[in-house]
Amino acid sequence: MKLEDDVETLKGVGPKTAEKLHKYGIISVRDFLYTLPRDYETFETPTSIAEIRPGKIVIRGKIDSLTTRRARRRNLSVTEGIVRDQTGAIKVVWFNQSYRIRQFSPDKEYFFTGEYELKNGRYSLISPTATEVSDVDLKTGLNPIYKAHGSLKSHDFKRLIAASRSQFNLIPDLLPSVPHNTRAKALFYSHFPNSLKTAERARNYLAYEELFELILASRLNRRENDKLKASSIRFKSAAVKSFVDNLPFKLTNAQRRAAWEIFQDLEKSTPMNRLLQGDVGSGKTMVAALAAFEVALAHGQVALLAPTAVLASQHYNNLLQVFQKFDIRIELLTGATKNKSAIKKDIGEGKIDIVVGTHALLTDDTVFANLALVVIDEQHRFGVEQRQRIMLKSPRDLAPHLLAMTATPIPRSLQLTIFGDLDVSILDEMPSGRKPIRTTVLPEIYAKERLYPQIQEVINLPPDTKSHGSKAHGQQIYWICRAIEDDDKTVSEITSVKKRTKKLREVFPRLTIEFLHGKMKPAEKDLIMERFKAGEIDILVSTTVVEVGVDVPNATMVIIENAESYGLAQLHQLRGRVGRGASESYCFLLTTGDTKPSKRLRELEKSCDGFHLAEVDLKMRGPGEIYGVLQHGALDLKIASLSDTKLIARAQKDVDVFLKNPDNLIKYKELMAGISKYQQITTLN
């Protein structure tokens, strides 16, 4: 068995299955073997039906009399059946799982695991999991469960893996200085554990391998960056002081510290490679402005890249204002800019000092005369390739300095791994006078009684005038929905932007209610945002497109629907759209149905600290959530124990030892080939 061969070479994998696997990125034998179980079910001795008691139970039996019906409450289907063993029979019930009706065959035996409880006056087994007895290794009582990939279900993965069972010992080791056959054993026991302990130990090793690769990649990135040359920019203390003195507010200490760290980087002749991390509203833009100011004074050009046109023009206007008294030329370049070619010409001739723009800046015909600093706002919004493009826009041999900014706090454990060799500045202090945003988790069904009165109050709608609203009445509201339009094909509990807008217009006919989403044309989106900024819109119903950095201080309430479907980091970002002015701000997190809000969401009621929330997310939902926000879906760790600081520390130490011997970089070919993927992820530029 060769790891780099196509999956089709595996026993039992025909062309059709191979095609399906390819579709999900499972191309090679390696990809396939590293598709590990997402969980392990355990079936201790099942209880006989005659002896069951209320609570969590495991029973083993056959099922019949399956029926499914719609409940009186909308959007709910009820599937029922009878499970029997030699000692008796009980009723089982599933909600909204109508596929169960086709899942079972009457003569097969299954394990059922779930809660046996009183519902509507009768004891039943509620929403149990069901596993075919023949799927379970009855010696260990374990059933590894694989994530379904389209029509390939857990069961299929098991069958395919089992076909290769005898060949695992052919898998070569990846890392130096591990006992022989370590990787082969780890993979084998992940798929065929003889106890939960062995499975855990095996996965732990695979996690270590991944961390090793990740950390090695980030160390190598650092080496590469250090080989580049950049123009050194001398710190001009008098000019910076007068600039700061002229600002309408005092910089926070955190802003001063970050700016100072940046100034020191800019003086070096290797390019700066710095990530500026700060919670929403912590004032990152001003720090970027200080860096831009220094570079412009030294006659270097600055490119400030923002993910949306709205954000770019917001930055542009802010910079125009703070640089008013200085001889610095600033231009805006977005898709909607009229005289693009004239601006590009001036950029090419070095006549523009600072250009603020969107993806429009990335086109081939934008060439800088002397690009010395690139600032990327909301860096996770850009793909690796886009970030690389802007960095290559200087025609000279010098690489630009890079300042990337993000509002997503990166927990320390992640910082040590993915961004291990990056310089990081942190804004851990808010400008003074900010109040915490009052946050309430609320089941959607109470919205009418709890939320609507407060909406009236915030918008300050006079109760008895008959005027139809064409301008805002008071403060403004964001209303965030998960989807743009209702999907007719699936019964879903998600209220779309379109539907919510319609509903709100019915409830509040005198308010100006508009919507915003990613499928609108950029010009349309900008127009809506401009009107919202100007206070002409009372409620803006939107998808998460408003998440990114928009600053409208008069908006003081944000309502987020289907809140349970987001990560805390993202909810915190969305919440950060309000709380930007002097008045009290509110956030309502609406949850689906009438279920009790989760502990996870309740964290948002308690805390406005992005770092704390990111840690909670990392613990409760795993790292995928944070990468999702951070890094445009690039990092796909299979086993990732990025909250395991001990394992990280061990991998770091081993990487250091590995790097001490330069021959290793040549000797371990497979390792080196694999990490090029990680190198892309861990780099900023």
CA 76 to the chain's CA centroid: 30
Closest of 196, 147, 152 to residue 43, by C-alpha? 196
Q: Closest approach of Cβ 590 to ligand ADP, in Å?
A: 24
Closer to Mg ion at the Cβ: 37 or 549?
549
Out of 82, 251, 461, 601, the residue judged to bind ligand ADP by CB under 6 A: 251
Q: Which residues of 72-82 are buried (b: 16+ CB within 10 A; e: fewer)?
A: eeeeebbbbbe
By beta-carbon proximity to ligand ADP, the closer residue of 35 and 406 is 406
Tokens 């805002």, located at residue: 472
Specify the residue, 182 or 255, whose C-beta has the smaller distance to ligand ADP: 255
Asked if 581 interacts with ligand ADP (CB under 6 A), we say no
| Least Cβ distance, residue 356 to Mg ion (angstroms) | 13
Q: Is 29 in the site for ligand ADP (CB under 6 A)?
A: no
Give the DSSP letter string of 78-90. EEEEEEEETTEEE
Considering the complex, state which of residue 550 and residue 681 has its C-beta at the smaller distance from Mg ion. Answer: 550
Q: Does 409 bind Mg ion (CB under 5 A)?
A: no
The least CB distance from residue 314 to Mg ion, in Å, is 9
Pick from 100, 158, 219, 284: which binds ligand ADP (CB under 6 A)? 284
By CB under 6 A, residue 1 contacts ligand ADP: no
Least Å distance between CB 306 and Mg ion?
A: 8
Give alpha helix (H) positions in 309-406.
309-322, 340-348, 384-391
Work out what residue 261 binds among Mg ion, ligand ADP, none; the CB cut-off runs from 5 to 8 Å by kind: none
Taking CB under 6 A as the rule, does residue 280 contact ligand ADP? yes
Structure tokens belonging to residue 559: 């309502």
Q: Is 527 in the site for ligand ADP (CB under 6 A)?
A: no
For residues 551-570, which are near ligand ADP according to CB under 6 A? 551
Partner whose binding site includes residue 283, from ligand ADP, Mg ion, none (CB under 5 to 8 Å by kind): ligand ADP
Closest distance between ligand ADP and the C-beta of residue 577, in Å?
Answer: 10
Cβ closest to Mg ion, residue 378 vs residue 538: 378
Residue 27 or 251 with smaller CB distance to ligand ADP: 251
Q: Which whole-number Å values give the CA distances from 664 to 174, 175, 421, 649, 669, in the listed order? A: 12, 10, 20, 21, 9
Instruction: Give the binding range for ligand ADP (CB under 6 A) out of 276-284, 411-419, 441-449, 641-649.
Output: 276-284
Helix (H) or strand (E) holding 124: strand 122-132
Residue 575 in contact with ligand ADP, rule: CB under 6 A: no
Q: Indicate the DSSP class of residue 563.
A: G
In the range 364-423, which residues lie near ligand ADP by CB under 6 A?
407
286 is a contact residue toward ligand ADP (CB under 6 A): yes
CA angle, 120 then 86 then 145, to 5°? 75
Q: Please, which residue, 193 or 549, has the CB nearer to ligand ADP?
A: 549
Cα separation of 232 and 179, whole Å?
48
Considering only residues 532 through 551, tell me which ones interact with ligand ADP, judged by CB under 6 A: 549, 551
Residue with CB nearest ligand ADP? Answer: 283
| Residue 576 in the binding site for Mg ion (CB under 5 A) | no
Q: Return the number of other C-beta atoms located less than 10 Å from residue 311's C-beta.
A: 22
Selected binder of ligand ADP within 124, 190, 282, 334 (CB under 6 A): 282
To the nearest 5 percent, what fractions of the chain are helix, strand and coil? 40, 20, 40
Residue 195's H or E segment, with its range, is none
Region of 133-141, 270-278, 417-425, 543-551 interacting with Mg ion (CB under 5 A): 543-551
**8 A C-beta contact, residue 515 and residue 542:** yes
* Cα–Cα dist 6/125, whole Å: 44
Residue 286 binds: one of Mg ion, ligand ADP, none (C-beta under 5 to 8 A by kind)? ligand ADP
Find out whether 345 and 292 touch, Cβ atoms under 8 Å: no
Q: How far is the CB of 282 from ligand ADP (least distance, A)?
A: 4
- Please classify residue 278 by burial: count the beta carbons closer than 10 Å to its beta carbon, then call 0-12 exposed, 13-18 middle and 19+ buried: buried
Q: Does 278 bind ligand ADP (CB under 6 A)?
A: yes
Q: Which residue stretch of 200-208, 251-259, 408-416, 546-554 sits at the interface with Mg ion (rule: CB under 5 A)? A: 546-554
- CA-closest candidate to residue 679, choices 24, 4, 172, 225: 225
Q: Count residues contacting Mg ion (CB under 5 A)? A: 1
User: How many residues bind to ligand ADP according to rule CB under 6 A?
Assistant: 18
Scanning 186-194, 220-228, 548-556, 632-640 for contacts with Mg ion by CB under 5 A, the matching segment is 548-556
Nearer of residues 399 and 407 to ligand ADP, judged by Cβ: 407
Three-state DSSP state, 575: helix
Q: Rounded to whole angstroms, how far apart are CA atoms 605 and 74? A: 30
Is residue 549 part of the contact set for Mg ion (CB under 5 A)?
A: yes
Strand runs labelled E in 138-223: 142-145
Question: Residue 551 binds which entry of ligand ADP, Mg ion, none, with Cβ cut-offs from 5 to 8 Å by kind?
Answer: ligand ADP
Structure tokens at 66: 């399956």
Structure-token pair, residue 654:
């081993």
CA distance 279 to 406: 8
Q: Using an 8 Å Cβ cutoff, are 271 and 399 in contact?
A: yes
- Binding partner of 684, given ligand ADP, Mg ion, none, CB within 5-8 angstroms per partner class: none
Q: Cα separation of 355 and 669, whole Å?
A: 43
607/410 Cα distance (integer angstroms): 17
Considering only residues 249, 395, 465, 487, which one is a binding residue for ligand ADP as defined by CB under 6 A? 249
Distance CA 605, CA 586 (A): 11
Question: Per-residue string for binding with ligand ADP, 423-442, x by CB under 6 A?
Answer: --------x-----------
Identify what 307 binds: ligand ADP, Mg ion, none; CB under 5 to 8 Å per kind: none
- Cβ–Cβ under 8 Å, residues 64 and 84: yes
Residues near ligand ADP (CB under 6 A) are 249-252, 255, 278, 280-286, 407, 431, 549, 551, 580
Residues near Mg ion (CB under 5 A) are 549
